[in-house]
């Protein structure tokens, strides 16, 4: 039984890239020796900011719906599990279709594996491995009232991918008063053959691309992008 009071809260902007979550993830009993968490450079050419990505455990999981073999199951607690070993045909539909890019295809095993929120631990009231070791609070597992007391950001579990609304079990920390995270793709594409340049956006939000220590040495103060919110933010009306 999962503890109903405890929830997962994700804040990639707090990630310091220490890799502790990656190492701890591989200790989980349901995927021993295999790290399921992703630690991505947000935009490596322009900064060193990293972001952890765990399974968001969608209410209507796209990965499970596109599976041709009924291999991905969601349990009564809303946890979306790794592909069932007897059924997975290693087609990679789930890997390509997941809106968050979470499932991993283990080609050497012919098996899709993914974050299951450390089901061997959370099912008995313990924290997931990654949240246990994260030193910066990018991965937090606890009570909603506790995180509300600690952070100014608000947790949301609804994402708007263009015309598709996705609701999840895992929460994402966003600006205060936001009810859903508007997910934008077009602003981050290299239109007309131009590479994506975060400096040309109105503070696009790549957590440290404009203000990280890496770039401060090279940028004159006048060229630093102002620290203000994106067009969708409602925190500064």
Rule CB under 8 A: is residue 12 a binding residue for other proteins? yes
Nearest approach, Cβ of residue 31 and other proteins (Å): 7
Rule CB under 8 A: is residue 225 a binding residue for other proteins? no
Rule CB under 8 A: is residue 169 a binding residue for other proteins? no
Rule CB under 8 A: is residue 90 a binding residue for other proteins? yes
Q: Which residue has the tokens 């796209």?
A: 62
Q: Which of 4, 86, 220, 237 binds other proteins (CB under 8 A)?
A: 86
Torsions phi, psi for 232 (to 5 deg): -90, -10
Rule CB under 8 A: is residue 175 a binding residue for other proteins? yes
Write b or e for each residue in 141-164: b if 16 or more Cβ atoms lie within 10 A of its Cβ, otherwise e. Answer: beeeeebeeebebbbbbbbeeeee
Rule CB under 8 A: is residue 77 a binding residue for other proteins? no
Q: Which of 24, 139, 172, 215 binds other proteins (CB under 8 A)?
A: 172
Is the Cβ of residue 7 or residue 208 nearer to other proteins in the bound state?
Answer: 208
Angstrom CA distances, 89 to 58, 61, 84, 170, stand at: 22, 18, 10, 27
Q: Kindly give, in sequence order, each residue whose CB lies less than 8 Å from that of residue 75, ignoring residues fewer than 6 positions away.
A: 81
Residues 91-130 that bind other proteins (CB under 8 A): 91-93, 95-102, 108-111, 116, 119-120, 123
């Amino acid at each position: 039984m999962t503890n109903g009071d405890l929830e997962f809260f994700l804040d990639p902007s707090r990630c310091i890239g220490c890799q502790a979550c990656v190492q701890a993830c591989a200790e989980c009993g349901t995927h021993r020796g295999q790290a399921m968490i992703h630690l991505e450079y947000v935009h490596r050419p322009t900064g060193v900011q990293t972001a952890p990505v765990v399974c968001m455990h969608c209410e209507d999981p796209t990965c499970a719906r596109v599976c041709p073999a009924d291999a991905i199951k969601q349990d009564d607690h809303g946890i979306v599990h790794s592909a069932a070993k007897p059924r997975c045909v290693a087609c990679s539909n789930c890997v390509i279709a997941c809106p968050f890019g979470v499932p991993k295809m283990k080609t050497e095993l012919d098996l899709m594996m993914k974050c299951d929120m450390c089901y061997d631990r959370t099912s008995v009231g313990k924290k997931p491995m990654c949240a246990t070791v994260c030193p910066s609070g990018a991965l937090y597992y606890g009570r909603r009232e506790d995180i509300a007391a600690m952070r100014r950001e608000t947790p949301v579990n609804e994402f708007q991918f263009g015309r598709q609304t996705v609701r999840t079990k895992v929460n994402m920390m966003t600006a205060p008063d936001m009810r859903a995270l508007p997910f934008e793709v077009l602003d981050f594409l290299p239109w007309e053959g131009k590479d994506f340049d975060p400096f040309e956006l109105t503070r696009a939000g790549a957590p440290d691309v404009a203000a990280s220590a890496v770039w401060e040495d090279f940028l004159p103060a006048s060229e630093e992008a102002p620290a203000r919110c994106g067009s969708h933010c409602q925190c500064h009306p």
